Amino acid sequence: MNTKSAIIANAIEAIDTESNAIKNLASFIDEEFADAVEYIYKSNGRVIITGVGKSAIIATKIVATFNSTGTPAVFMHAADAIHGDLGTILKDDVVICISKSGNTAEIKVLVPFIKEGPNKLIAITSNKNSFLGQQADFVVNAHVDKEACPLNLAPTTSTTAQLVIGDAMAICLLKLKGFSSEDFAKYHPGGALGKKLYLRVKDIATMNLKPQVSEDADVRDVIVEISEKLMGVTAVVNKNKIVGIVTDGDIRRMLRKYEHINGLKAKDIMSVNPKTVSCDILAVDALDVMDQYGISQLLVEKNGYYFGVIHIHDLIKEGII
């Protein structure tokens, strides 16, 4: 077997090992898992998630997922906890401890201190009979038969299983809380995902120049307006109501059709009944309109009156596309 074939075969084997382990996790989801999730949901505090080594790295990701889906969470490294960070835990908090073996030295030192307080302890472990499993108030089984590592040493399958269990808990909590897309946008205001849920057409249109001409505007004035406002179009308005649109394409078609353009007006070359959107709709919905009709610009209205223009380049710039 050549090197490339060996790489491909090894990768497929690793993926198969981990995917089979994840599928097997479903058989471990039981009433104790449900009790643990329900306890978190009913608690008045935060979720403190701790671990050591690779499990600590997984814990930080689960913390991020919890926080972004409406469950306040804080990471506490198990080794640092016994050197002062135990003060992170408040009386109403719930503690989740992640450990494959459940028998590491740091866990054995940390768990008794947690048990001295009023906080409930949830274990995510591959060994329910471990020290951690025996001490925890709730045990979530994240058992795996073997690591994807051919030496069965490097945490690979086990950390993937821990991550999946964390995601499952986060999704259950999300649904219990009735977490909505509006809530998601509130927690993700700076990202492209959040923008799809809160950025509205008016937020974009107000940043653009507002090209407009009257029906009787000379075509030369129309060309100047399109060029100066840099939107590739101009609205044709009557008493601030949209009656048509002139695009770069309309100008090109005019030049092919007419040998002389003297005397031509905006109304002679405009397209009537242009596609418009309300300034209050989401920018992502405006993108759907552009896709549906194969256009790059949309005229925007507010209460039936001309408000401005948005361009597909605006949506690209904002990360909507």
pLDDT tens column, 1-22: 689 999 999 999 999 999 999 9
**pLDDT exceeds cutoff 70 at 54:** yes
| Helix ranges (DSSP H) in 88-200 | 105-116, 131-135, 157-177, 181-187, 192-198
Nearest CA among 298, 246, 297 for reference residue 277: 298
pLDDT at 82 over 90: no
Position 238 pLDDT exceeds 70: yes
Res 31 pLDDT > 80: yes
pLDDT band at 83 (very low <50, low <70, confident <90, very high): confident
Nearest by Cα to 71 from 168, 159, 193: 168
Distance CA 97, CA 143 (A): 15
Tokens found for residue 306: 């001309």
User: pLDDT for 112-165, tens place per residue?
Assistant: 999 999 999 999 999 999 999 999 999 999 999 999 999 988 999 999 999 999
Whether the pLDDT of residue 221 is over 60: the answer is yes
Mean pLDDT, residues 66-76: 94
**Percent of the chain with pLDDT strictly greater than 90:** 82
Mean pLDDT of 23-42: 96
Give the pLDDT confidence score for residue 269 in this predicted structure.
Answer: 92
Q: What percent of the chain has pLDDT over 70?
A: 96
For the ranges 105-114, 139-148, 290-299, 311-320, the lowest mean pLDDT is seen at 311-320
Domain range annotation of the chain? 3-179, 198-317
pLDDT at 197: 66
pLDDT at 97 over 60: yes
Q: Which backbone phi and psi does 96 adopt, to 5 degrees? A: -110, 125
Superfamily of domain 3-179: Glucose-6-phosphate isomerase like protein; domain 1 (3.40.50.10490)
Q: What is the pLDDT of residue 213?
A: 95
Q: Given a cut of 60, is residue 192 above it in pLDDT?
A: no
Asked whether this chain's domains 3-179 and 198-317 adopt the same fold, the reply is: no
The single residue listed with the structure tokens 């075509």 is 219
Q: Is the pLDDT of residue 194 over 70?
A: no
pLDDT category, 317, cuts 50, 70, 90?
A: confident
pTM of this prediction? 0.69
Hey, what are 49's tokens?
A: 């998630």
Reply yes or no on whether the pLDDT at 286 is more than 80.
yes
Q: What are phi and psi of 301, to 5 degrees?
A: -120, 155
- Reply yes or no on whether the pLDDT at 187 is more than 70: no
Question: What does CATH list as the number for 198-317?
Answer: 3.10.580.10
123 close to 99: Cβ distance less than 8 angstroms: yes
Q: How confident is the model at residue 181 (pLDDT cuts 50, 70, 90)?
A: confident
